[in-house]
Structure 1
């Protein structure tokens, strides 16, 4: 799959190089995100260099992170779920466009299609009624004969099996805390998503990057559990995919590293 380059920057942030364009998903590029601390390696200038397009899946602060967006500079095209563009412009992000599930946009040789997600779209979470709100979504990024599915935050949703052929799926397999709320995929449910999507390659994301400050050093069972959850989810996911006998390659990649993609000819089996 020489036409596409991927780097798992961390959490839900993936750098996609495809069709002479650089796309960044849900950029989180700083050491801190509110009460969360980055426990993976520091982001580099190369992670944010020459970015043409930013795709934001929803408004939560660990996905739409204003300090990280400001690091990218004013000329970067930022795509936000429909209904949140005005709010983002008032925060000083200049070049903002909106997209909804079922809509498309073009960036050079890339076509980006919005797809549904099963997740809260409110800035402050599912129980708040104040502040900006827009429907959470994922994205299909297609160019040079390759389609990458960036799921954002989601649980299984109706129609997941109906998405078009996917070469690489970026699937969340955990989060940043010791538990998961609604609208997330566990490793086992992410394996079920692979069964529905049938991608050629799957990259587990949304793990191993952020944690509540101090929790990783906490004594006793709480600290031990958090330390385990920073490491185990992608491997549990890969094992679940193997148990299901699914025809996909799982590319477990540590945060801050390039994804090793197989050399696959078009339409060849994974």
Structure 2
């Protein structure tokens, strides 16, 4: 199912080298500035931020009884058809918004002259899941200089220690409240923790940390000890991209759209949703992702969080077919659904 991303007259993909890329390679790293006062007195737990109770003993017993944690063999037969079209990361100047999907929730976002990685996972395997279904869409050595990393939460498919180890330790890392120590223990020197609705500015780009319907856990003893959320990135020209991280459907999308109007592109999860009774509260299904896009008032949507790791039991291609059907049913313009292949890019030019 290899396919090229569709283009509208407002979109173009640049392939020629830009002088700007060479100039910034040796430029000093931009300084990070808080927008308003940042909170630092984090509570011991963020369990009060949950929008649904975590599964209890009965739910765990039902899951074990049903054994519905991976697709059936017929649901895996389409693995060779998963969309994978690696290409060069497009050059981007100060006025360009560009995105490249590396797979799962990992994006290379070019905004305001910066290169930002979201939830970077370049590892072939993560704890508790089979190996990747598809390779990473961008080779690590082909990345531009990384100006910042944003993390949505601490689950292993979003916070990957081997990948982060590849970064220079002075890379600015923006993380949810309570997660900073994980990075400082690994000698990162420019770590900023944010609560919901807090923001910082880096090189003229504003990073707002916003709520999500999810949770956090990395060990047996740290359930909800750190926060979870998404990010809204806004450049000097008002270009705005929303990265949802992991989230279920709920009221936060409308509130995010109200506080951050005019989102140009929403990066929304569409996979890891079945069985629904188990995952409804923490992962949107494709139809809910389209509803979330509408609640946000976003102009375009790029699906993510599918076609990379086997985390649930829906057939591997089902998220794509369902999101396309839901998009059409909602009467939305086809060119505004950026259903990229892994490794694919789109550039929004003003």
Aligned residue among 332, 335, 342 for 1:246: 332
CA distance in 2, matches of 1:129, 1:45: 33
- Higher strand content, 1 or 2: 1
Instruction: Report whether the alignment pairs 1:113 with 2:208.
Output: yes
Distance 1:176 1:73, change over 3 A: farther
Distance 2:126 2:223 in 1: 19
* Structure showing greater relative contact order (alpha-carbon pairs closer than 8 Å, 6 or more residues apart): 2
Going from structure 1 to structure 2, the CA distance change for 1:176 and 1:209 (only over 3 Å counts) comes to farther
The answer for the alignment partner of 2:148 in structure 1 is: 53
Q: 1:233–1:96: structure 2 CA closer, same or farther, 3 Å change rule? A: same
- Out of 11, 33, 37, the position equivalent to 2:126 is 33
Deviation string for 1:144-166 (max 9, x for gaps)?
32100000001123242132221
Is the aligned partner of 1:257 residue 2:344? yes
Output aligned runs, 1:120-131, within 5 Å: 120-124=215-219, 129-130=221-222
- Residue in 2 aligned with 1:18? 111
What are the equivalent positions in structure 2 for 1:222-233 lying under 5 Å apart? Answer: 228-229=315-316, 231-233=317-319
Calculate the TM-score normalised by the size of structure 1.
0.83
**Structure 2 residue 285 is matched with structure 1 residue 186:** yes
Q: Distance in 1 between matches of 2:287 and 2:186?
A: 38
1:141 & 1:119 partners in 2: Cα distance? 20
Higher alpha-carbon Rg: 2
Q: Quote the offset at 1:46 in angstroms.
A: 4.6
> C-alpha separation between the residues in 1 aligned to 2:99 and 2:205?
15
| Structure 2 gap ranges (5+) | 1-10, 13-95
* 8 Å contact kept, 1:176–1:210: no
Q: Equivalent of 1:101, from 176, 179, 196?
A: 196
RMSD between superposed Cα atoms in Å: 2.4
Moved more, 240-249 or 143-152: 240-249
Q: Deviations over 1:250-269 (max 9, x none)?
A: 011111221x3565x5xxxx
Query: 1:78: Cα distance to partner?
Result: 0.9
| Total equivalences in the alignment | 247
Please, what TM-score do these two structures have when normalized by structure 2? 0.65
Contact 2:147 2:172 in 1 (8 A): yes
